[in-house]
Structure 1
Amino acid sequence: MPMPNVTCLTSVRLLSSIFRHHQLLLPSVASVKVPKRTVFQGEYRRPGRPKEDKFPWQKINFNFSKGLQGIKKHFTLLKKEFFERWVGPQGKPLLEHILEQNRVIWEFRGPESLEGWTVSSDREIGGQSEVYLKLGRNNNTCLLYGTMSSTPPRDGETRYSGYCTMRSKQSLASFDRKKHFDWSSFNTLHLRVRGDGRPWMVNIAAESYFSHQKDDIYSYFLYTRGGPYWQDVKIPFSKFFLTHRGRIQDSQHALWLDKINTIGFTLGDKADGPFQLEIDYIGVCKDYAHTEEFAYELYKRNPEV
């Protein structure tokens, strides 16, 4: 009877030993989980603000009398929109709309004019800045004032702080449809303001095409002189640059003037202390001397070969 090869027996024993050790180690080794990459951009949550665990339908206030008032209000707006279409764009005759060179969009002439505006500051994330909005003298102007503080909150997450902002509310048509401003006939933003020498940022939000562009804002600088005198500021729309959540974008494109949603003013110059900005009116105009289409470089997405 032939004797088995010693080398073969050694190899079999080595493999069986490795197999037994492998079986003993398998239960103790946990499976590696690779996090799935998020395809859609989630809702932005400010640092220090807790997450909301409520479902969307839990925020609805079911009130029968309030619902009847809302139906009456929306049908009144729908009737107004229907008859304005027969007159012309935005209820104006067509000839007047074509020859119009100046238009006042917002003016502050009473307490009801402040209902379309909202103010906010870093106090929402635990900061110490304060901002208030009220009517000026003789109820003919809007006065934005408060105190700026750049001290960050002690939440262990926020590193920078110090901002105050004023923003117009989204205009709504009947049945809570978005109502856009059409400024395509104009090329310049016209402001009559009186500040305290601080630099402000003018922000214009337009309707976006994709959902991830909802935080896109066009911004430009507003330098106030200070003192008792008013200043008329004209900023061409071609000067506004695209930003996303405070960051200037590399890919720039012009502002869509036919789908303007809101306008706002932001102060964040890191100078602690009191501030104030008085606004008489906000309008648009057509400057024939300004022929620039866009002030910044446009990248070709599909360059010619």
Structure 2
Amino acid sequence: MSLWRVPRVPPAGWLGCVHQQLFLTPATPSSLPGGAAAAARALSRVQYRRPGQPKDNRPPWKKIKFDFAKGVEGVKKHMTLLMKELRDPLVGPEGKPVLEHMLEQNRVVWEFRGPEALEQWSVSSDREIGGQSEAYLKLGRNNNTCLLYGTLCGAPPRDGETRYSGYCTLRSKQMLCAFDRKKHHDWTSFNTLHLRVRGDGRPWMINLVGETYFSHQKDDMYSYFLYTRGGPYWQDVKIPFSKFFLGHRGRIQDDQHHLWLDKINTVGFTLGDKADGPFQLEIDFIGVCRDSAHTEEFAYETYKRNPNV
């Protein structure tokens, strides 16, 4: 095995040489000890870049945008949110009187009644990794609904790495309180997700993401199926939270457990039915309700480890 050649430099210039060799010069198999294996380990420590995205070679200080006027607006915004955050607990839970909070049976979380409602959602597709699918979001007729439309294409990008493609996603943004701290939805008083949608007959996946406490759980997601009817008629869909199953990076887990409703971060819709062509999904509102007739805690079998084995 050949050793890594280090050029002879004066003692005063040793630190600068090391900095230039390790951080500025790209690693190649011939310049690392151990050949290709060492090169793979070195490149694995670099931030991962999805295929199809251009590499950003700008230095870190050029990626920062300084704007004094925007900073003043940000301070005003966060101080307003802080005052609301301190004032709401004096009224009751979530800023509502205690009696109203206890007797609440239905709650509309998202309704699309103007352009500001679309700012709470983000749209993505496989175009981000070099695919050909397209997804767009706009207000429906009379600005009273949300219309997600586009074209699905399952052809994978020709990058030699990506094997599967063909998906589109609509996802709510993470709620933030003062100073960009996370804010969660508390749905412990409800047991059912209530939607009013109008689709084109395609099957969708509804995804719920909750707050996790360990780093290996950051990609955990609870999902269930949404079968749209198609046609000009609206359909009211009620899905109990007990029907949502646990998945991790698209794989259903064997160790299933129910969803914790006290800290819900985002709600999303995913289309990936491998049927190329146009699609559309129109949403009137998304809410939660409490169905007293539904007493099921969890719909799937759970496993408990036997300590005697």
Same fold (TM over 0.5): yes
Distance 1:114 1:59 in 2: 27
1:230 to 224, 227, 234: 234
Change (3 A) 1:46 1:243: farther
Per-residue deviation, residues 116-165 of structure 1 (Å, max 9, x unmatched): 01101111111111111111111100010111111111111111110011
Alignment of 1:140 with 2:148, yes or no, is: no
2:292 to 256, 270, 288: 288
1:79 to 80, 83, 88: 83
Change (3 A) 1:231 1:125: same
Match of 1:93 in 2: 97
2:252 to 240, 248, 251: 248
8 Å Cα contact 1:48/1:157 also seen in 2: no
State the percentage of identical aligned residues.
76
Distance 1:226 1:215 in 2: 32
Q: Secondary structure at the match of 1:143?
A: strand
Q: Secondary structure at the match of 1:80?
A: helix
1:115 to 119, 125, 134: 119
| TM norm structure 1 | 0.84
Q: Secondary structure at the match of 1:221?
A: strand
Bigger CA radius of gyration: 1
Match of 1:190 in 2: 194
Change (3 A) 1:297 1:53: farther
- How is 1:1-305 mapped onto 2 (pairs within 5 angstroms)? 45-49=49-53, 59-301=63-305, 303-304=307-308
| TM norm structure 2 | 0.83
Distance 1:59 1:150 in 2: 34
Deviation at 1:245, TM superposition (A): 1.4
Task: Say what the alpha-carbon RMSD is for the aligned residues.
Answer: 2.6
8 Å Cα contact 1:136/1:142 also seen in 2: yes
Q: Which runs of 5+ in 1 are unaligned?
A: 1-25
Q: Which runs of 5+ in 2 are unaligned?
A: 4-32
**Segments ≥4 residues shifted beyond 4 Å:** 31-38, 41-45, 50-58
Aligned residues: 278
Change (3 A) 1:149 1:291: same
